[in-house]
Amino acid sequence: MVPWMNEIQRRRTFAIIAHPDAGKTTLTEKLLLFGGAIQIAGAVKSNKINRSTTSDFLEIEKQRGISVSTSVMAFEYKGYKINILDTPGHEDFAEDTYRTLTAVDSVIMVIDCVKGVESQTRKLLEVCRMRNTPVIVFINKLDREGRDPFDLLDEIEKELKIKVFPMTWPIGIGKSFKGVYHLHDKQLNLFNNENKFVRAENIVSIKDIHSNELDNNLGENFAQKLREDVEIIQSVYDVFEKEEYLKGNISPVFFGSAVNNFGIQELLDTFVEIAPAPTGRQSDKKWIPSDYPQFTGFVFKIHANLDPRHRDRIAFLRIVSGKFERNKNYFHTRHKKWLKFSNPTAFMAQQKSVIDEAYPGDVIGLYDSGNFKIGDTLTEGEDLQFKGIPAFSPEVFKYVVNKDPMKTKQLQKGLEQLTDEGVAQLFSKKTDNRKIVGTVGQLQFEVLQHRLAHEYSAKCDFDSLPIYKAVWLVSDNDKKLQEFINDKAQYIAYDKLNRPVFLAESAWLLQMAQEKYPEIKFFTMNEFD
């Protein structure tokens, strides 16, 4: 057992995921308030980009600044060290969110009780399922006239293909919202919307819901309805097994209203109790458990240009195992070189501070002058590489058009570095030497153009390229692979690691290619084994 076992066990590293507007920012803020990490509401800024026009560049810039300070929010609560990893609100930045999800051990998913399951929730949950990430559901905005709670649970089970288990249960909804009943702790938490920023204190213990005490607190009608609901819940939902939650098979559900600070205490108390402590990660050589004695970690996010006057970048590293120490040499396994960090930062709530040591589950910020790429691994000398930070095929593709031939080098460098940060993916064609940029949404092209101009003094335009998907090609049969590459020369490009990619114009053409070349495997994700 490592001497810092207690540090590992008391850490909870998670992300809050939600469709925009469901209440992620509000919930984050309330959790920080509960943890005493911030004192006033309104301190956490939403990282939403509501409009996506060119005139919003300033907004985007501001956004990047803000989201750095809120990228990781750590606080202490009841002896636990909680690390919340923030995810971008805009769906064009979904790829960024997927990568952040590789660095957490569990998630809290927020659902708006009026809207139910929305498109972004669906996609994010798919990523969680791929990795068996444990999920807790928070159904928000109970102070609004939302949907019937049973319907909501049904929808979550059907649409997201997960099993749910209600931990609390709402009494009334919207104007008649009375509070929630904790099914496990057998406590009634009464809603008082004038009590916005203090802890919920209106808690009544009701051991027997058939007692008159329930009627005294809720009135006869609501008390009766709750009794009926509880009977249904007991007959429909299995018992809650923590093991099943930890495997990602069952999701406990809480009801509340983030803006009213209601239902958060129940959520947070259960979260720290059941959510997993830092788990290990798979490397290309072996599984690295969190109590592995040597230090290991991987970069899942890179942010550039925090301060426009300096050109520094900050790489966010999730510690998988061991103890990280300031000024110690660590091995960068891709470059095969040793690096030392004199100013590693930790993020407590909204403040950054230099730290001397950090433990598994923590995320630290490393100042970087261009050494890091997303997915890079640091160790104490072992030559291994963490897996599981895949890039998916982009959705939108464009040719890069250099608008200032005098600045070709700057453009090249800018494209290389910005794509290292994961702003977009870069492909090169060998037939005509053209560069292709692929993204999840339109917004990234604007961000790229803007940043190339401001940070690299390079001007470029983009020509549209109607491609359906970029598919990575892998085959044991080199001859066949080469034959395919020759056959489709015009539609073959290479990624940054010089791996061949087929740019399929349509699903049908992709299928045709697959049928004609059964010896080749076609991957829409760049991690194959």
The residues of the shown chain that bind ligand G4P, judged by CB under 6 A, are 18, 20-26, 46, 48, 89, 140-141, 143-144, 257-260
Neighbours of 297 (CB within 10 A): 28
Measured from the CB atom, is 97 or 260 closer to ligand G4P?
260
Measured from the CB atom, is 30 or 373 closer to ligand G4P?
30
Measured from the CB atom, is 266 or 495 closer to ligand G4P?
266
Contact between 105 and 12 (Cβ < 8 Å): yes
Measured from the CB atom, is 253 or 259 closer to ligand G4P?
259
Least Å from the CB of residue 139 to ligand G4P: 10
Contact between 405 and 385 (Cβ < 8 Å): no
Pairing, β 179-182 against β 168-171: antiparallel
Separation of alpha carbons 134 and 14, rounded Å: 10
Least Å from the CB of residue 166 to ligand G4P: 18
The residue type found at 75 is F
Residues whose CB falls within 8 Å of the CB of residue 267, separated by 6 or more in sequence, listed in order: 108, 136, 138, 254, 256
Measured from the CB atom, is 91 or 395 closer to ligand G4P?
91
Measured from the CB atom, is 46 or 71 closer to ligand G4P?
46
Phi, psi of 349 (to 5 degrees): 45, -115
Residues whose CB falls within 8 Å of the CB of residue 422, separated by 6 or more in sequence, listed in order: 95, 96, 99, 301, 302, 374, 391
Least Å from the CB of residue 170 to ligand G4P: 12
Contact between 506 and 467 (Cβ < 8 Å): no
Token pair of 156 as six digits: 């979550």
Measured from the CB atom, is 28 or 526 closer to ligand G4P?
28
Separation of alpha carbons 252 and 169, rounded Å: 11
Contact between 98 and 233 (Cβ < 8 Å): no
Least Å from the CB of residue 260 to ligand G4P: 6
Least Å from the CB of residue 184 to ligand G4P: 22
Residues whose CB falls within 8 Å of the CB of residue 325, separated by 6 or more in sequence, listed in order: 295, 356, 357
Measured from the CB atom, is 21 or 325 closer to ligand G4P?
21
Least Å from the CB of residue 110 to ligand G4P: 6
Residues whose CB falls within 8 Å of the CB of residue 399, separated by 6 or more in sequence, listed in order: 434, 435, 436, 462, 463, 464, 465
Neighbours of 266 (CB within 10 A): 23
Separation of alpha carbons 198 and 34, rounded Å: 9
Residue 377 backbone class (left: φ over 0; alpha: ψ -120 to 50; beta: rest): beta
Separation of alpha carbons 164 and 111, rounded Å: 13
Least Å from the CB of residue 372 to ligand G4P: 28
Separation of alpha carbons 130 and 142, rounded Å: 30
Measured from the CB atom, is 113 or 473 closer to ligand G4P?
113
Least Å from the CB of residue 509 to ligand G4P: 38
Least Å from the CB of residue 136 to ligand G4P: 16
Measured from the CB atom, is 144 or 163 closer to ligand G4P?
144
Separation of alpha carbons 426 and 497, rounded Å: 10
Neighbours of 136 (CB within 10 A): 21
CA-based R_g, the chain, Å: 25
Least Å from the CB of residue 84 to ligand G4P: 13
Measured from the CB atom, is 28 or 393 closer to ligand G4P?
28
Measured from the CB atom, is 144 or 488 closer to ligand G4P?
144
Separation of alpha carbons 95 and 438, rounded Å: 12
Token pair of 258 as six digits: 């983030």
Fill in the DSSP letter of residue 44: S
Measured from the CB atom, is 88 or 394 closer to ligand G4P?
88
Fill in the DSSP letter of residue 92: G
Least Å from the CB of residue 303 to ligand G4P: 19
Least Å from the CB of residue 25 to ligand G4P: 3
Least Å from the CB of residue 179 to ligand G4P: 14
Q: What share of the chain is helix, strand, coil (3-state, %, to 5)?
A: 30, 30, 40
